Amino acid sequence: MNKITIAIDGFSSTGKSTVAKRLAKHLGYTYVDSGAMYRAVTWYAMKHNFINRERFDVDSLVSHLDDIHISFVFNKDVGFAEVYLNDENIEKYIRSLEVSSFVSRVAEVSEVRSQLVKQQQKLGKVKGVVMDGRDIGTVVFPNAELKLFLTASPENRAKRRFSELVKKGDAVLYDDVLKNVEGRDYIDSHRKDSPLIKAEDAIEIDNSNMSKDEQFHVILDIVNRKLKENA
């Protein structure tokens, strides 16, 4: 069967990566978490003090972009590819609320975007890829055979993200998580370069009232129909 490219975009914490990982595993495709790449650059900027609560030194970050090498290494114990920054596994650092509080500002920077988009297009050169993010169906793979756009109410999304962080042992407040989800949605949808918008040919799925399992099966049906069309 012909392999296709599946682009999954949507607002923060809509369960994109959960469904993308499961789909990739089911189909034997490669999963690429483009958000992890923006988080990796943000982590680098935080470590070098280019970004903190008081200031964001965009010029310094941009002048160091060539020193930032991001790679994905499959970890069979967890069943997905973990993100590495300059050969260090940074998977456990990049999902914190602190990184989330800076990432959308880093992702507004055009030089950061063009560098990462290039790498994402390279990773998706061979068909058989599921990639999730904000601009995958619009900018990274405008010709993807299947584009999905996931939405859910902000409260549902904040609840999901809050329980994920609590499960990991992070001491966070629900209100701070909700504020972060809403704040990132705003910046991601209003930035000049590649704002989060639904591609014209994307299928929109509101998963506010779906379990992870239901969402997976709804999406798998859509994928199977698309695969038949492309066979």
Size of the site for ligand CDP (CB under 6 A): 16
Q: Between the CA of residue 84 and those of 69, 76, 87, 91, 230, what are the distances in Å?
A: 8, 15, 5, 7, 34
Sign of torsion over alpha carbons 162, 95, 78, 5: positive
Site for ligand CDP in 158-187 (CB under 6 A): 184
The answer to whether 187 and 104 are in contact (CB under 8 A) is yes
Q: What angle do CA 198, 194, 159 make, to 5 degrees?
A: 60
Residue 33 · residue 132 · CB < 8 Å: yes
C-alpha span between 73 and 49 (Å, rounded): 27
Minimum CB–partner distance for residue 145 and ligand CDP (Å)? 18
Nearer to ligand CDP, 35 or 124 (CB): 35
39 near ligand CDP (CB under 6 A): yes
Q: Which residues, including other chains, have CB under 8 Å from residue 96's CB and lie 6 or more apart? A: 165, 170
Nearest distance from C-beta of residue 134 to ligand CDP, angstroms: 4
Q: What b/e sequence results for 83-97 when a residue is b if at least 16 CB atoms lie within 10 Å of its CB, and e otherwise? A: bbbeeeebbebbbeb
Residue nearest to ligand CDP (CB): 35
Tokens 């705003």 label which residue?
186
Is 135 a binding residue for ligand CDP by CB under 6 A? The answer is yes
Q: How far is the CB of 108 from ligand CDP (least distance, A)?
A: 8
CB of 1 to ligand CDP, least distance (A): 27
Taking CB under 6 A as the rule, does residue 12 contact ligand CDP?
yes
**Which of 13, 30, 138, 156 is close enough to bind ligand CDP by CB under 6 A?**
13
Q: Write out the two tokens for 5.
A: 């490219």
Q: Out of 188, 207, 210, 219, which residue is the one contacting ligand CDP (CB under 6 A)? A: 188
Q: Does 22 contact ligand CDP by CB under 6 A?
A: no
Give the nearest distance from C-beta 4 to ligand CDP in angstroms: 19
Tell me if 34 contacts ligand CDP by CB under 6 A: yes
Binding residues for ligand CDP, rule: CB under 6 A, are 12-13, 17, 34-35, 38-39, 103-104, 107, 133-136, 184, 188
